[in-house]
Amino acid sequence: MTQQRQFISKQEAKPPFFVGIDLGGTNIKMGLVDDLGRTLSWLTVPTHVELGGEDAARRMGQAVHRVIEQAGLRSADVARVGLGSPGTMDIPAGKLVVPANLKGWEHFPIRDRVAHHARLPVTFANDATAAAYGEFWIGSGREFHSMVLLTLGTGIGCGIIIGDLLLDGEHSHGGEFGHTIIDCDDDARTCACGRRGHLEAYASATAVTHRTHEQLSAGRRSTLQARITHGEELSPLLVAQEAQAGDDLSREIIFDTAKYLGIGMVNLMHTIDPNGILVGGAMTFGGHASDLGREFLARIQCEVKQRAYAVPADNTVIDFATLGGDAGYIGSAGIARGDYLKESPSHAAD
């Protein structure tokens, strides 16, 4: 446990309470939220993937009680725990399948093991879907009936909400949108998953670094070259800094990324036609707070306008997400709340 921050106090909070867990390959973030999605307490613990699923489940169980204690509450005050995990997974079975970022945890029955150690009922969800639900519940998506959250990082996460329903898919593979094909050519870019033409191979942080490297290797002039020569590592952050300083190549790389994302969004619009598509994650180029972030968003919107049918083009909101790294645990808690309401309709009618 390293950090904690108090958002609202126990006195202000509206029961019942839920604990949301955002399980990642490096850290596990966890928060206790009230019935309105407001955080009372939160903490982060290292995942220690190498120690295996059972060890992590035990430590998650302990941390659930620590986060409850931090909020000044008791275990009995918590109605349910939500656990958002990276895939692949089998959601109805509560098991991981072959999770790329949790090596050695294959087929681990994580939902029931966390429930055992936390001594609380656990709802199991995909982490990208959980983050989308967080934005849908209390973030930039709270006015939407249906929405998509694209999380830009090493890969491209995607969570889809249609109405109040999470689109888990019939085989827990809904929202693997980073792995949809936007280039059917035989020589299309190769994705980290080994297949060709995937959106993720064009628009993830990995892809940004790769495309920049390609251009530099081909002899394109750029102020990036000097920074790399001075020992800095090529990354979307470095590209963003040089773009802000006016470097042409860096700007081109970022705006091409916007183009590819726009193409992906049109595909979402012409398939599920949501109210809005939000962009979150580590690679938002500063978001609304920066000129570069705003231009990145504008370029995405422009690509969508050119490529989508007029009605969805004019009516689909395309914006940044607002909850940042908290979306995952808040959404996991929100999904747990959904299950709780299904079981306790009297509360829903309040």
Residue ranges binding its own copies (CB under 8 A): 88, 97, 145-146, 158, 160, 162-163, 165, 167-177, 179-185, 193, 195, 202, 259-260, 263, 266-275, 307, 309, 311-312, 315-316
Closest distance of CB 237 from its own copies, Å: 25
Reading phi first (left if > 0) and then psi (alpha if -120 to 50, else beta), residue 147 is in beta
Closest distance of CB 200 from its own copies, Å: 10
Asked, as a colleague might, if the bond just before 88 is cis with ω within 30 of 0, I would say: yes
Closest distance of CB 32 from its own copies, Å: 32
Considering beta carbons, is residue 92 or 104 the nearer one to its own copies?
A: 92
Cβ atoms of residues 33 and 16 within 8 Å: no
Rounded CA-CA distance 308/141 in Å is 21
Considering beta carbons, is residue 175 or 331 the nearer one to its own copies?
A: 175
| CB neighbour list of residue 91: distance below 8 Å, 6 or more residues apart | 124, 125, 126, 168, 172
Considering beta carbons, is residue 89 or 243 the nearer one to its own copies?
A: 89
- Record the tokens describing residue 165, joined without a space: 């329903």
Looking at residue 198, the DSSP 8-state letter turns out to be: B
- Record the tokens describing residue 266, joined without a space: 């049109």
Considering beta carbons, is residue 136 or 260 the nearer one to its own copies?
A: 260
Cβ atoms of residues 40 and 94 within 8 Å: no
Closest distance of CB 273 from its own copies, Å: 2
The amino acid at residue 135 is: E
Considering beta carbons, is residue 165 or 226 the nearer one to its own copies?
A: 165
Closest distance of CB 57 from its own copies, Å: 23
Considering beta carbons, is residue 19 or 147 the nearer one to its own copies?
A: 147
Rounded CA-CA distance 251/241 in Å is 10
Closest distance of CB 336 from its own copies, Å: 21
